[in-house]
């Protein structure tokens, strides 16, 4: 089989999803499976659906369209405010979208009216992440504005945590979101269907005895895919952390510790560095680089140390000599490494343990190289 490639264990993704959706359902919380890290791959999206998510969520319209073209009919929410240049595509492919701008909401309402489709609006509140979001003091006025438009329906409010500022959610923020939801309902005269409290970073709190007040939905991607808490990096109990493995081949192996380096001066301000000493040990060159993944986000096998990487090469030091040219090396990935590896056309994707129904369904792959194993 070709390398580099990602082996995706669909059974582990289904199991992670089943564990999380089951435990959160007991607290009255539904789960949207976030597919942006896997570029809207329909096979992985279906594994989330099979595991029990109530719907899917993505930040890019192209990913949503890929899932729709593959036959995914479940509800999909766009979790980034729509681009004015993509409003028709948003309305046609997404049942609802996250929004922060009056101008965009007005244009969405017009596009929805023209298409004869009612589009759901979820207002994103700034709750401390300092990225996208409406200031709490402005939520009521914008909610009332949405409620007065044709073609759209105010479905709920949402907040985000631990993405830009890395500030984790807390119980106080959950109560604040819930209180604002009550104020919106009182001012707009209608119940909100969704009060979304955040993402995978909320899971430790959601699975504890913390007061989540009105929170009834979370958007979960990283915890399902990688089985970890994105804030601490710790494994979430009962979840698999190895559903994705990056496999790449050794293309060179040498001991270069004795190569002399001639001192030289670099231009002032140069970003190049002269390495004046190599530690002893075998230098292993791997057929994957910065174009393919976040090399610093890889988990290395025992006995290997990261020395550096270029666009097409990963350079490791190995304390033993049990591998040779042609040997395949298996790496774990964090969220950053996974996102980049799934997005590149140079990495093949192989699926382990697909359900029988998937083998007969004509899913259009989200990647130019797709294998069911």
Q: How far apart are CA 352 and CA 8, in angstroms?
A: 6
Per the domain annotation, does 97 fall within a domain?
Answer: yes
Residues 147 and 31 in one domain: yes
The pLDDT > 70 percentage for the chain reads 88
Give strand pairing partners of 121.
97, 154
Q: How far apart are CA 278 and CA 230, in angstroms?
A: 34
Domain holding 146, by residue range, is 10-226
- pLDDT, tens digit (0-9, with 9 covering 90-100), for 25-68: 999 999 999 999 999 999 999 999 999 999 999 999 999 999 99
Q: Left if phi > 0, otherwise alpha if psi is -120 to 50, otherwise beta: which for 356?
A: alpha
3-state secondary structure of 162: coil
> pLDDT band for position 360 (50/70/90)?
very low
> pLDDT band for position 186 (50/70/90)?
very high
Residues 191 and 290 in one domain: no
Q: Tell me the HSE value of 296 on the side-chain side, using a 13 A CA sphere.
A: 1
Place of tokens 């808490």: 229
* Other beta carbons less than 10 A from residue 80's beta carbon: 17
CATH number of the domain at 69, please.
Answer: 3.20.20.10
In degrees, to the nearest 5, what angle opens at C-alpha 322 toward C-alphas 317 and 325? 75
> pLDDT band for position 140 (50/70/90)?
very high
Give strand pairing partners of 32.
55, 219
Per the domain annotation, does 232 fall within a domain?
Answer: no
Residues 47 and 192 in one domain: yes
Give strand pairing partners of 192.
none
What total of structural domains would you count in the chain?
2
- For the residues 259-265, what does the mean pLDDT come to? 58
Calculate the average pLDDT of the chain: 91
In degrees, to the nearest 5, what angle opens at C-alpha 19 toward C-alphas 18 and 20? 95
- Phi, psi (degrees; rounded to nearest 5) at 201: -65, -15
**According to DSSP H, which parts of the chain are helical?**
10-25, 42-51, 61-69, 87-93, 102-115, 136-147, 171-188, 203-206, 222-226, 335-343, 356-360
Residues 128 and 221 in one domain: yes
Residues 278 and 166 in one domain: no
Q: Exposed, middle or buried: residue 258 (CB in 10 Å: 0-12, 13-18, 19+)?
A: exposed
Q: 28-32, 54-58, 127-131, 285-289: which has the minimum mean pLDDT?
A: 127-131
Per the domain annotation, does 109 fall within a domain?
Answer: yes
Residues 46 and 185 in one domain: yes
What pLDDT shows up at residue 279?
55
Residues 40 and 133 in one domain: yes
Residues 203 and 83 in one domain: yes
> pLDDT band for position 282 (50/70/90)?
confident
Per the domain annotation, does 233 fall within a domain?
Answer: no
Q: How far apart are CA 178 and CA 216, in angstroms?
A: 10
Residues 23 and 148 in one domain: yes
Chain centre to alpha carbon of residue 323: 33
Q: Retrieve residue 304's tokens.
A: 């290997």
CATH number of the domain at 365, please.
Answer: 2.40.30
Q: Exposed, middle or buried: residue 185 (CB in 10 Å: 0-12, 13-18, 19+)?
A: middle
First to last CA, the chain: 11
**Does the pLDDT at position 238 exceed 80?**
yes
> pLDDT band for position 366 (50/70/90)?
very low
Residues 280 and 142 in one domain: no
Q: How far apart are CA 211 and CA 333, in angstroms?
A: 33
- For the residues 294-308, what does the mean pLDDT come to? 96
**Does the pLDDT at position 317 exceed 90?**
yes
What pLDDT shows up at residue 322?
77
Q: 139-148, 235-244, 258-267, 359-368: which has the minimum mean pLDDT?
A: 359-368
Per the domain annotation, does 218 fall within a domain?
Answer: yes
Strand 194-196 versus strand 119-125 pairing type: unpaired
- For the residues 101-114, what does the mean pLDDT come to? 98
* Other beta carbons less than 10 A from residue 59's beta carbon: 17
């Amino acid at each position: 089989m070709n390398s580099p490639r990602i082996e995706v264990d669909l059974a582990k993704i289904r199991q992670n999803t089943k564990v999380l959706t089951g435990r959160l359902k007991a607290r009255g919380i539904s789960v949207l499976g976030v597919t942006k890290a896997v570029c809207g791959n329909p096979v992985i999206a279906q594994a989330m659906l099979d595991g029990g998510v109530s719907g899917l969520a993505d930040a890019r319209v192209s990913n949503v369209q890929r899932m729709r073209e593959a036959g995914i009919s479940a509800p999909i929410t766009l979790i980034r405010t729509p681009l004015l240049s993509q409003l028709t595509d948003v309305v046609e492919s997404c049942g609802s979208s996250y929004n922060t701008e009056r101008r965009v909401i007005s244009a969405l309402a017009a596009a929805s009216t023209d298409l004869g489709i009612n589009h759901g609006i979820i207002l994103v509140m700034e709750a401390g992440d300092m990225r996208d979001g409406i200031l709490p003091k402005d939520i009521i006025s914008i909610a009332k504005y949405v409620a007065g438009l044709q073609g759209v329906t105010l479905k709920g409010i949402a907040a985000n945590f631990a993405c830009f500022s890395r500030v984790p959610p807390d119980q106080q923020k959950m109560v604040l979101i819930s209180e604002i939801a009550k104020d919106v309902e009182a001012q707009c005269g209608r119940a909100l269907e969704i009060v979304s409290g955040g993402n995978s970073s909320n899971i430790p709190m959601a699975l504890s005895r913390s007061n989540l007040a009105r929170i009834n939905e979370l958007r979960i991607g990283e915890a399902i895919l990688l089985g970890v808490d994105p804030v601490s990096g710790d494994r979430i109990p009962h979840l698999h952390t190895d559903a994705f493995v990056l496999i790449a081949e050794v293309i060179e192996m040498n001991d270069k510790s004795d190569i002399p380096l001639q001192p030289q001066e670099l231009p002032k301000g140069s970003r190049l560095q002269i390495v004046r000493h190599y530690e002893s040990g075998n230098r292993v060159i791997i057929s994957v680089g910065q174009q393919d993944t976040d090399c610093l986000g890889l988990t290395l096998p025992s006995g290997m140390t990261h020395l550096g990487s270029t666009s097409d090469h990963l350079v490791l030091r190995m304390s033993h000599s049990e591998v040779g040219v042609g040997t395949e090396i298996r790496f774990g990935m964090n969220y950053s490494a996974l996102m980049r590896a799934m997005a590149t056309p140079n990495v093949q994707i192989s699926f382990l343990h697909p359900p029988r129904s998937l083998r007969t369904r004509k899913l259009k792959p989200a990647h130019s190289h797709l294998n069911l194993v």
